[in-house]
Structure 1
Amino acid sequence: MSDNLLQDAKEEIIGMGKEGMAHPSTKPVLTGAAVGAVAGALLPVLSLPVGLIAGAGFMLYKRLRP
């Protein structure tokens, strides 16, 4: 992988879009989004969309930079 995180993320997201659930990153990122959404719903300082985006973003980052 290159040192450019944004380029790596772009390539990963495009791959996830093309391959759907067959892509190895899709399930972990969706799981992170679901966990983030639940946390956003339960915590008064976060909203559901913010939690969803944060959870998905965190899992995508962990897939790119383990």
Structure 2
Amino acid sequence: MARQSPEEPTLVELTIEEVKAMGKQGMKHPSTPTVLTGGVIGAAAGLVLPVISWPVGLLAGAAVALYTRVKR
């Protein structure tokens, strides 16, 4: 695992900033539609799969979409 210099923000810090920006800008923020779409896909998977419920799928789908947006 590569070490980050002290100036580089961590993944957690980047994620928090992204969520804050999404909260302030709403649907105008470029990540918001992507994260909402991920949540809808996750919820749909939760309805189809007997192992998880739709709220768990919603949260997981939104989390994966947010992670992929922040990781880029």
Do both proteins adopt the same fold according to a TM-score greater than 0.5, normalized to the shorter chain?
A: yes
Separation (CA, whole Å) in 2 of partners of 1:57 and 1:28: 11
TM-score (norm 2): 0.86
* Structure 1 position 13 matched with structure 2 position 23: no
CA RMSD of aligned residues (A): 0.9
Structure (1 or 2) with the larger CA radius of gyration:
2
Give the percent of matched residue pairs that are identical in Structure 1 and Structure 2: 52
Separation (CA, whole Å) in 2 of partners of 1:3 and 1:61: 15
Listed as ranges, the matches of 1:1-66 within 5 Å are 2-66=8-72
TM-score (norm 1): 0.93
Question: Structure 1 unaligned runs (5+)?
Answer: none
| Stretches (4+) displaced over 6 A | none
